[in-house]
Structure 1
Amino acid sequence: MGKTSLVRRFVEGRFDDKYLSTIGVKVSRKVLGRETHQLNLLVWDLVGGNDFSWRETGYLIGTAGALVVCDLTRIETLQALDRYTHHLRTVNPRVALLFVGNKLDLSAERQVSDDELMMAAARLGGRYLLTSAKTGTGVEAAFAALADLIEGEG
């Protein structure tokens, strides 16, 4: 899906195309300068795919917001948005969610359309944005939009 690549691009400003599957959780920190204050974001990169289970919901306690990521080149990740949203809202019904379609740069391999992602996000009660961790397109905007949602400005 590119969750780790999105976090790495946002926190470290770099992209690495070597695939390493996330095991468990990795926590990163980034301070966002807002108009009137600094926002300290702790970004938790959780295992995804079929490896995510109710065992991981303990990590979700206290979550203020989440980017729920769909890989635009894999239709099955669009279908998994329901499951991830259910896990998040079971733990925190008020969690701020932003749905992200990642890998925008791979247009020739795209399996998920803008309309499909828009309909899924609307059905699940959230907004969506498109990103490319590889090129950096939309990454800062996605995290800024999530920060806005968390602070009630989105």
Structure 2
Amino acid sequence: MAMVFIVVFFFDYFSGVGKSSLLIRFSDNTFSGSYITTIGVDFKIRTVLLNGERVKLQIWDTAGQERFRTITNTYYRGTHGVIVVYDVTNGESFGNVKRWLQEIESNCDVVNKVLVGNKNDDPNRKVVITEDAQRFANQMDIRLFETSAKDNINVEEMFLAITEQVLRHKKKTQEDTKSEANNDTVQLKK
């Protein structure tokens, strides 16, 4: 049986950062230049093989508009990994990343995170400089990926990286739990 992880996208309040395109590229390996804005939540499932282990990913695509905020807040519980997406061609979307990360920290238990700068396929339109994004990611202690759902750049790598982080965290948690259980054991002598 495959392990199940829930990966939730959090993103800017702007529509169009390309989060749904990333999800569809990863789950179906397709791209369309036109998508309908996500209303509420949507999700896809894909099973991957990672280090010889089958991992079933439930990837939730949440609406970013303020009016859907209460809906998306309910999906914080039970989240194993978070993918924070901004648009490299929109500086304002990058500016909101810190707020998203703070919201995640205040609503989730310990959760694995990656930062994703999407639409990294046209250098002439890019306004968020890689070095600035990397410096910010380093400060926040999260891994940065620059992706393009359109050109299929770093999409698979990003999803596999967050999956690997979650796997490592789950295994460490299980080991810590076993260790604590062993320490709580009292041995009686006859």
Q: Distance in 2 between matches of 1:114 and 1:19?
A: 27
1:92 aligns with 2:108: yes
Q: Residue 78 of structure 1 is aligned with which of 81, 90, 94?
A: 94
How does 1:109-120 map onto structure 2 within 5 Å?
109-120=125-136
SS at match of 2:47: strand
Instruction: Give the drift of 1:104.
Output: 0.8
- What is the CA deviation profile of residues 39-64 of structure 1, one whole-angstrom value per residue up to 9, with x for unaligned ones? 01000001125455354211111100
Compared with structure 1, are the counterparts of its residues 119 and 52 closer, same or farther at alpha carbon in structure 2 (3 Å cutoff)? farther
Q: Distance in 2 between matches of 1:142 and 1:148?
A: 10
Q: Distance in 2 between matches of 1:93 and 1:108?
A: 39
Alignment RMSD (CA, Å): 1.5
SS at match of 1:18: coil
SS at match of 1:76: helix
- What is the CA deviation profile of residues 57-98 of structure 1, one whole-angstrom value per residue up to 9, with x for unaligned ones? 111111000110110000011111112112222222411000
Residue pair 1:57, 1:87 contacting (<8 A) in 2 also: no
> Unpaired runs of 5+ in structure 1?
none
1:124 aligns with 2:140: yes
Larger radius of gyration: 2
Q: Distance in 2 between matches of 1:72 and 1:29?
A: 26
> Unpaired runs of 5+ in structure 2?
1-16, 170-190
1:143 aligns with 2:159: yes
TM-score by length of 1: 0.93
Letter in 1 for 2:22: L
Letter in 1 for 2:155: V
1:17 aligns with 2:36: no
Does 82-91 or 72-81 show the bigger shift? Answer: 82-91
SS at match of 1:6: helix
Residue pair 1:103, 1:134 contacting (<8 A) in 2 also: yes
Q: Please identify runs of 4+ aligned residues in structure 1 that moved more than 3 A.
A: 49-52
Q: Distance in 2 between matches of 1:107 and 1:49?
A: 28
Compared with structure 1, are the counterparts of its residues 102 and 25 closer, same or farther at alpha carbon in structure 2 (3 Å cutoff)? same
Q: Distance in 1 between matches of 2:66 and 2:128?
A: 19
